[in-house]
């Protein structure tokens, strides 16, 4: 069935450093890959997404890269700040599941001041 693996499960960085979270997916027909940020006690919020017709997308300090051949995509956060501390989820759409999203297991990012 559909599967999205996310690594690492926890990540601790110093303020100002970069953070990278990686996800792999199983369905080669997947073509939509959103990333969500979840702060404590709140629902996940979409921060960036990418479709399979592009390899990279940037939005200020956040970027996502996609390698369709290898079936993996990554979230890059540069110049991390304490307010970036949260749980991040990747997701992938699965064509045979009506393009529903399957989520990775999440990464808890801690940015130390």
By the criterion CB under 8 A, which residues form the site for another protein? 31-32, 34, 36, 41-46, 49, 51, 89, 91, 93, 98-101, 103-106, 108
CA-wise closest residue to 49 among 66, 62, 69, 35: 35
Cα–chain-centroid distance for residue 107?
A: 9
Shortest distance, position 17 Cβ to another protein, whole Å: 24
Nearer to another protein, 53 or 69 (CB): 53
Q: Which is nearer to another protein, 40 or 70 (CB)?
A: 40
**Residue 83 near residue 40, CB atoms below 8 Å:** no
CB of 81 to another protein, least distance (A): 23
Minimum CB separation of residue 16 from another protein in Å reads: 27
Identity of the residue, 35 or 84, whose beta carbon is nearer to another protein in the bound complex:
35
Give me the least distance between CB of 64 and another protein, in Å please: 13
Kindly report the backbone phi and psi dihedral angles of residue 96, in degrees, each rounded to the nearest multiple of 5, phi listed first: -80, -5
Tell me the chain's radius of gyration from C-alpha atoms: 14
- Closer Cβ to another protein, 21 or 91, answer by number: 91
């Amino acid at each position: 069935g559909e599967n999205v693996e996310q690594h690492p499960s926890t990540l601790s960085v110093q303020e100002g450093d970069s953070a990278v979270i990686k996800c792999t997916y199983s369905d080669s027909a997947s073509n939509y890959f959103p990333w969500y940020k979840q702060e404590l006690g709140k629902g996940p919020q979409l921060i960036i997404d990418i479709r399979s017709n592009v390899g990279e997308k940037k939005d200020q300090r956040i970027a996502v890269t996609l390698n369709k051949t290898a079936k993996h995509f990554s979230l890059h956060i540069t110049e991390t700040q304490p307010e970036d501390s949260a749980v991040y989820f990747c997701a992938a759409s699965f064509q045979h599941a009506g393009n529903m999203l399957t989520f990775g297991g999440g990464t808890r990012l801690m940015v130390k001041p």
